[in-house]
Structure 1
Amino acid sequence: MSELTTEQKVDAAETAALKLAQRSETERNAGLEAIADAIEAQSDEILEANATDVDEAEAMLEAGEYTQALVDRLALSESKIESIAEMVRSVAGQDDPLGETLEARRLDDGLELYKRSVPIGVIGTVFESRPDALVQIAALSLKSGNAAILKGGSEASRSNRVLYEIIEEATSDLPTGWAQLIEARADVNALLEMDDSVDLLMPRGSSEFVKYIQDNTSIPVLGHTEGVCHVYVDDEADLSMAAEVAHDAKVQYPAACNAAETLLIHEAVAEEFVPEIADRYEETGVEMRGDDRVREIVDTDVEMDAATEADWSTEYGDLIISLKVVDSLVEAVDHINEYGSKHTDSIISQDADNARVFMQGIDSASVFHNASTRFSDGYRFGLGAEVGISTGKIHARGPVGLGGLTTYQYFLEGDGQIVASYSGQNAREYVHEEFDGEWTPGRLSESTVTQ
């Protein structure tokens, strides 16, 4: 790796982004296929570097400096590397997000306006722990024609460096500098100040980490600060289904931001459901924190601490869950909107009207019916992968895939028209007619306006 400053790396990325935007889909896909092949071919090297990172992280875990969730996210395996390569290929298989005509409008005869999808430019990404995030972000950036500034956590430094070098070598035919790795903490502060060169920041990590990024830059930030996700078991729920979904949402991968942190149960089914789900959680090592009504119902031999007010808004990222009995669907919706983080929430119900009220009433990026919150993921959504999940409402929301990494430009094709001819006496009138057409450089569409 070259010893460039952060400023030099960002400048190189900015130059590369303009060139990468001109590369064809075939060229970008070839780069992605080369990355996938190289990751598979060099899996031993990746695992060796990752093992050293994990060993050091486990020592920090024993010292109380790291959490188990962080160590879990850090670790790679042969199967994980295979899934990373598969993810890269799935990104290559997605439709090209660039050059799509989003709108075509005829302003007048021989004056046609096209709204077309284009790359955002330079995307700065700052993420913790997960080395596979580096590959996800790089793959999505390449497919969407964006340059990427990649900053991983120090706990994954060896893994990130090896993966970056593999990506850099595999894409040597593409514009130099389209992907850049920065490693020092001081580099992040320098990056946050480069609002003239970096077009978007996508942080991935703890709520404190993301909030720090948001509070210390004027660059637009796309991301989420917390993943306080809920499952609500309705009075019209299939309780067998509810138990499966509530268990999966918490246990399948508790460190993920889309894992459920609070389980809400309608009072009409609480007597039957609470003991069943509590037993299942206890069998899989889940620490439970219940409100008074839950603790009155649960079997006396089941360990359960009393939930505090803070529990309702806490992202545990671990095998811990809070449980609460609610009197109604409306109370469940109100609770989620008050304490949730606008990430992902799910209702379990066989009543379509109840599902509609819940789904339209919850102000979250993703709202599910009879499904685990763990489905809130770019790969599972068919986006190929994701650079992160956004809980904001501007530009992109939910899992951010290729579409979230594009913006648009207006292209106007004319034949010498001037604005003066559309004012005053004998002024021409605008047609403003939508039509189906693709932009062709330097040539007007053959379609004409019917007079």
Structure 2
Amino acid sequence: MAEEIARNAHLASTVIANISALAIKSGNAAILKGGKESLNTFQAMSSVINDVLQNKTDVPDNSIQLISTRGEVADLLKQDSYIDLVIPRGSNALVKNIKENTKIPVLGHADGICSIYLDKDLDVSKACKIVVDSKTNYPAGCNAVETLLIDKHLDKALETQILKSLLDAKVTLHISPELLTQIDQSLQKDYADQITTASEDDFRKEFLSFDIAVKTVENVQDAVLHINSHSSKHTDAIITENDKTADVFLKGIDSSGVYWNCSTRFADGFRYGFGTEVGISTNKIHSRGPVGLEGLVCYYYQMRGSGQVVGDYLGGGGTRVFKHKSLDPNSVTL
């Protein structure tokens, strides 16, 4: 328990440092709430951050603030006239509850139901390495794989080798009833305590543990249909050496991240080169995927004229033609 509390406190310190830096750099204020086990860490770091902002910068005082109770969160969720964006980070239940109880735009994802499709034309050494990493590198992460789809035409010896690599990594396989009758009997005998029958709900589930749902599909089109109807639009991958098959998958999957021959665990702002991130968005507007500094900045338009009116131009009643050209920013005087 002490180790878990220490780990949560460490994560809390990372979160407040990252989010505070992104908010300040992007010109935003932020109101943060940590978990009860990290409250003291949040308070101490917030005090340091605000002391530095107040005494050593021109950033307005109290740009980074803390709240500590669920009641305060509920009150904030009603402030759609004053708050531009809510970024929930936590359990599925937390994110879903926030989305259902606010008019403020929400950036984030409720689930991380990531899938990997094993095509019949795969390289088995790549497949074993990628699948095991995607599941076991950090199984509690939202970018860990939860579903494994296998082309029914994949060579059975290769299928057995891939499943065994997961079993050897201490992963429990929730296998569809149809596939369970077809897999190598020695696997069922040697790993009896790690093989169980999957339910349909298992293919819509974020296990967040050393568990994975496994089933066969007819082909890549069938895999695309399954993923688009079962996934959370987070990150999905195909393992194949067939360029055309990969192209069908990459263009057909409706998720924020679609990968070919690499681990789903790469879905991360740091790994994308964004630096830190506020979270991963499965929304389609305005930001999608890992959201870093650019995702917290929006456009606004500034015009400086000398009496121009729309009525002088085509489309507004006049005859003048709009001319658009790029300007050298160094030659523009503001």
| TM-score of the superposed pair, with normalisation by structure 1 | 0.68
1:353 to 244, 248, 258: 244
Counterpart of 1:341 in structure 2: which amino acid? S
- Who is 2:81 aligned against? 196
Q: Amino acid of the residue matched to residue 302 of structure 1? A: Y
State the distance in 1 between where 2:211 and 2:315 align. Answer: 72
What residue ranges of structure 1 are gaps of 5+ in the alignment? 1-53, 59-70, 77-128, 444-451
Secondary structure of the structure 2 residue equivalent to 1:433: coil
Residue 336 of structure 1, aligned match among 217, 227, 246: 227
Q: 2:131 aligns with which of 235, 243, 246?
A: 246
1:73 touches 1:255 (CA, 8 Å); kept in 2?
Answer: no
What percent of counterpart residues are identical?
40
Moved more, 292-301 or 400-409: 292-301
* Superposed counterparts of 1:193-232, under 5 Å: 193-232=78-117
CA deviations over 1:141-186 (Å, ceiling 9, x no partner):
1221211111112232223223323322333323211111111111
Which residue of the partner structure matches residue 411 of structure 1? Answer: 302
Secondary structure at 2:30's aligned position in 1? Answer: strand
Question: Out of 322, 325, 334, which is 1:434 matched to?
Answer: 325
Partner of 2:161: 276
* Residue aligning to 1:166: 48
Q: Which residue of 1 aligns with 2:141?
A: 256
- In the TM superposition, what are the counterparts of 1:167-186 in structure 2 within 5 Å? 167-172=49-54, 173=57, 174-186=59-71
Aligned length: 325
CA distance in 1, matches of 2:46, 2:317: 63
Q: What does residue 385 of structure 1 align with?
A: 276
1:351 Cα deviation after fit: 1.0
1:154, 1:335 → 2: CA distance?
39
Of 189-198 and 158-167, more deviation after overlay is shown by 158-167
Quote the Cα distance in structure 2 between the aligned partners of 1:209 and 1:148: 19
1:74 aligns with 2:8: yes
SS at match of 1:171: helix
Whole-angstrom distance in 2 between the partners of 1:367 and 1:424 = 43
Distance 2:315 2:12 in 1: 63
Question: Judging changes above 3 Å, is the alpha-carbon distance between structure 1 residues 401 and 440 closer, same or farther for their aligned structure 2 residues?
Answer: farther
* CA distance, structure 2, for counterparts of residue 311 and residue 270 of structure 1: 25
Q: Alignment partner of 1:324: what SS?
A: strand
CA displacement 1:422-444 (0-9 Å, x = unmatched): 4899934132323234388865x
Q: 1:143 to 1:321 in 2, by over 3 A?
A: same
Report the AA paired with residue 52 of structure 2. A
Q: 1:439 to 1:388 in 2, by over 3 A?
A: farther
- Are 2:171 and 1:289 equivalent residues in the alignment? no
Amino acid at match of 2:50: E
Shift of 1:131: 4.4
Aligned to 1:96: none
**Kept after mapping to 2: 8 A contact 1:262/1:322:** yes
Q: Distance in 2 between matches of 1:425 and 1:346?
A: 50
- Per-residue deviation, 1:317: 1.1
Structure 1 CA distance for aligned equivalents of residues 92 and 318 of structure 2: 58
Aligned CA-pair RMSD:
2.4
What are structure 2's unaligned runs of at least 5 residues? Answer: none
Question: Which is bigger in relative contact order (C-alpha 8 A, separation at least 6)?
Answer: 1
Q: Does the 8 Å CA contact 1:278/1:302 hold for their aligned counterparts?
A: no
Q: Deviations over 1:382-418 (max 9, x none)?
A: 0011101111111100001111101111111211223
Higher strand share: 1
| Pair 441,187 (structure 1): closer, same or farther in 2 beyond 3 Å | farther
Contact map agreement 1:270 1:325 (CA 8 A) in 2: no
Q: CA deviation at 1:188?
A: 0.3
Q: Which amino acid aligns with 1:349?
A: T
Q: What SS does the corresponding residue of 1:256 show, helix, strand or coil?
A: coil
Displacement of 1:289 in angstroms is 0.5
Q: Secondary structure at the match of 1:399?
A: strand
CA contact (8 A) 1:131 1:160 kept: yes
4+ aligned runs moved over 4 Å, structure 1: 423-426, 439-443
Deviations 1:88-144 (A, max 9, x none): xxxxxxxxxxxxxxxxxxxxxxxxxxxxxxxxxxxxxxxxx7542222211211221
